């Protein structure tokens, strides 16, 4: 049986580092911040759906989310599906989303987990990821080689050591794994910083597929300006 492809976007967070829970213009959750005239979540979903091999993108939202319904998603038709089952952290949200999608997805189907806060994923790197992993048994992730000098600090923020960056990569999303493998990995792990680390816990070695630095993660409010420059440079407005 031919494996199919699905996206899953974790979009249930409050964006505390971004400042979404505080007073002022950023009190709105980060995924709904305006970016090039659209909510940031729109761009993340659109980037996945740009590849026609991805049948549906499941968007995992907080159970009390009221923002999603206020936007028009009709251009995507039935290729976008909100799931109001987000948990208190990324680990639980992705696991809950996989469980909720189980009726539509087979264990051997591919799931591409993406961040709502990565709105600048390009079509070429997405294509390269899918092509590189289509015949892979384990799966893998987009990542970029660490190019800056890395310092390890103590509690007083004084340098303890300069780390050897040879062989170091910075993980990105999407992270692409078989539905059954990823769900098993998340069920057996208590928490993780990304899906690959959970899969590593099964004794597997996910593949690194080189991405681009333009696939940035919007973490702080000032990152929005850079993301908008990238999108407008591509003609995405």
**Does 212 or 12 have the greater pLDDT score?**
212
Q: What is the DSSP letter of 155?
A: T
The pLDDT value recorded for residue 17 is 47
Confidence band for 193, pLDDT divided at 50, 70 and 90? confident
Task: Give me Rg for the CA atoms of the chain.
Answer: 18
Task: Give the span between the Cα atoms of 187 and 202, in whole angstroms.
Answer: 11
Closest CA to 116 of 186, 199, 218: 218
Name, in order, each residue with C-beta under 8 angstroms of 205's C-beta and a sequence gap of 6 or more: 138
Dump strand ranges (E) for 23-147.
34-35, 38-39, 54-60, 80-83, 110-115, 140-145
Q: What percent of the chain has pLDDT over 90?
A: 87
12-26, 67-81, 100-114, 206-220, range with the lowest pLDDT? 12-26
First and final C-alpha spacing in the chain: 39
Q: What is the pLDDT of residue 23?
A: 46
The CATH-assigned architecture of domain 5-233 is Alpha-Beta Complex (3.90)
Paired tokens of 18: 């971004």
Between 22-36, 60-74, 87-101, 131-145, the lowest mean confidence (pLDDT) is in 22-36
Structural domain boundaries of the chain? 5-233
Q: For residues 75 and 19, which has the higher predicted lDDT (pLDDT)?
A: 75
Tokens of 15: 């964006």
Q: What is the mean pLDDT of residues 126-132?
A: 98
What is the structure's pLDDT at 21?
43
Q: What is the pTM of this model?
A: 0.92
Count CB atoms within 10 A of the CB of residue 229. Answer: 13
């Amino acid at each position: 049986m031919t494996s199919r492809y699905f996206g899953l976007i974790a979009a249930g967070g409050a964006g505390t580092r971004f400042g979404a829970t505080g007073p002022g213009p950023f009190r709105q959750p980060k995924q709904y911040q305006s970016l090039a005239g659209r909510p940031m979540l729109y761009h993340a979903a659109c980037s996945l759906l740009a590849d026609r091999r991805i049948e549906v993108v499941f968007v995992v939202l907080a159970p009390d989310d009221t923002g999603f319904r206020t936007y028009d998603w009709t251009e995507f038709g039935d290729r976008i599906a909100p799931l109001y089952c987000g948990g208190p952290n990324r680990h639980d949200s992705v696991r809950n989303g996989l469980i909720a999608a189980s009726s539509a997805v087979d264990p051997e189907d591919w799931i591409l987990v993406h961040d709502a806060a990565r709105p600048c994923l390009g079509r070429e790197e997405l294509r390269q990821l899918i092509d590189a992993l289509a015949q892979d048994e384990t799966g893998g992730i987009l990542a970029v080689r660490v190019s800056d000098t890395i310092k390890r600090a103590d509690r007083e923020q004084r340098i303890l050591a300069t780390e050897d960056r040879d062989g170091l990569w910075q993980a990105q999303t999407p992270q692409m794994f078989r539905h059954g493998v990823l769900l098993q990995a998340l069920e057996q792990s208590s928490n993780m910083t990304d899906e690959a680390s959970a899969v590593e816990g099964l004794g597997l070695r996910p593949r690194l597929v080189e991405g681009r630095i333009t696939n940035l993660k919007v973490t702080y409010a000032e990152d929005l300006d850079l993301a908008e420059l990238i999108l407008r440079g591509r003609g995405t407005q």
